[in-house]
Amino acid sequence: MLNLENLSKSFRGGSFGSGAVPAVRQVSFSIAPGEVTSLIGESGSGKSTIGKMILRLLPVSSGRITFDGVDVASLEGSALKEYYRKVQGVFQDPFSSFNPVFRADRIFRMLEREYFGDLGAREWSAKLHTSLEAVGLNPADVLGKFAHELSGGQLQRLLVARALLLDIEILVADEVISMLDASTRVDVLNLLAGLKERGLGVLFITHDLSLGHYISEHTVILRRGVVLEIGETAKVFGNPQHSYTKMLLASVPRLHSHWEPLEPGEPARTGPRDAPRGRGRRARGQPLEPVPLLVEVEPGHLVAFEDGGTATAGDER
């Protein structure tokens, strides 16, 4: 069980950290074994930052992440190595995950050196083959190749296979299929969904609502580092409460229906999305809007409290 408690992250801006830019603010949720939790947000929402903090690739600013009751930030040296035995990640760009200078096997070679040094060559090879077959790869097709000789789908499978070599309990999947082709992405998606049957907890980070809806048991909707809606996926998608969630759902392009107008008479483009982008999006001197309280609207479904319940456009500007 991995818990996020009031997790916050600020990036230092300016020299010697003279200004702090908040990326994630007081986020709390947990990733349970045997479930996929999707963390859905648009660019700049801080969703990847949360994934990187869980993987200890970024330090936490305040709040904490606990794994089986232990604060992850306190882990060093061999304890951190043991943490990585249980918690692993797969990233967005399969090509950037492989060192272009070396063959793709290097990701396995590193694990062998660091974790399975006492394993004989034959046992290691058997273990590797089992793991590759578990993700639907034929070892002969993929071993000994360079990353550019393999397809994006094969590479992402290799990365999942790498994680499965360890005794992982939690997998952080950060936008893992957004760069794959449509005809192969669903296979990787099914592979991730299948992991929960092995008792794994998966954090599925995505900007794509349809993917999140397809795969997950729980959904967290994030905007500008703040949780706006959280709960069982069926409830969040079936009965969206926050105006932002509603706006997102209305904007998703669908295959079998057209966009419905957001608000009658209001052209779509004058909506909230014109807020300037990037880390420096908050104008200097402008006070930070407070982190809203989460209110339980039905069992297992929490929604951020909105002032007067007005449209999103109001609190965005």
Partner 1 sequence: MSLDVQNLVVAYRTLRGDVRAVDDVSFSVADGEIMGLAGESGCGKSTLGNSLVRLDRTMRCLGGRALLDGTELPLSDWDAMDDFRFKKVSLVPQYSMSALNPTRRIGKMISEVVRSRKIRYKDVLPELERRLRLVGLPTDVLAKYPIELSGGMKQRVVMVLTTLLDPSLLVADEVTSALDVSTQRAVGGMLVELRDMGIVTSTIVITHDLSVLVQVADSVVVMYAGKLVERAPTATVVDAPRHPYTKLLIASLPEVGVRYAEHVLAGIPGHPPSLLDPPKGCRFADRCPLASAECAVEPPLVELESGHFVACWKAS
Partner 2 sequence: MSKDTTTTKDDTAAPTEEGNTAPRHELVYFALRNRKLVIGLSIVGLLGLAAIVAPFSARSNPDAFVGPPMQPPSSSYLLGTTYFGQDVYSQLVNGLRQSFLVGIMGGGIAFVVATAVGFTAGYRGGAVDEVLNMLTNVLLVIPTLALLIIVGGYLKGTSIVFEAMFVGATAWPWAARAIRAQTLSLVSRDFVGLARLSGVRSWRIVVGEVAPNMSSYLFLTFILLFGNAILISASYDFLGFGPPGGVSLGSMMNLAFAWNALQLHIWWWFVPPGVAIMGIVGGLYVTNVGLDEVFNPKLRSL
Amino acid present at 258: H
202: DSSP letter: E
> Binding to partner 1 by residue 286, rule CB under 8 A?
no
- Supply 39's token pair: 């963390």
CB of 261 to partner 1, least distance (A): 10
Contact string 104-143 vs partner 1 (x = CB under 8 A):
----------------------------------------
Contacts of residue 3, defined as CB under 8 A and 6 or more positions apart, other chains included, come to 28, 30, 65, 66, 67
Residue corresponding to tokens 């993987």: 55
The entry of partner 2, partner 1, none near residue 6 (CB within 5 to 8 angstroms by kind) is: none
One residue of 27, 172, 215, 226 binding partner 1 per CB under 8 A:
215
The entry of partner 1, partner 2, none near residue 102 (CB within 5 to 8 angstroms by kind) is: partner 2
Can you tell me the distance from the alpha carbon of 294 to that of 220, in angstroms, rounded to the nearest whole number? 12
Amino acid present at 105: D
Residue corresponding to tokens 């606990």: 66
Can you tell me the distance from the alpha carbon of 157 to that of 50, in angstroms, rounded to the nearest whole number? 23
The CB density around residue 127, as the number of other CB atoms within 10 Å, is 16
CB of 108 to partner 2, least distance (A): 9
Q: Segment 177-206, which members bind partner 1 (CB under 8 A)? A: 181-187, 189-190, 193
Contact string 28-47 vs partner 1 (x = CB under 8 A):
--------------xx----
The CB density around residue 256, as the number of other CB atoms within 10 Å, is 4
Q: How many residues does the chain have?
A: 317
By beta-carbon proximity to partner 2, the closer residue of 56 and 129 is 56
One residue of 58, 134, 249, 313 binding partner 1 per CB under 8 A:
249
CB of 77 to partner 2, least distance (A): 10
One residue of 33, 61, 105, 272 binding partner 1 per CB under 8 A:
272
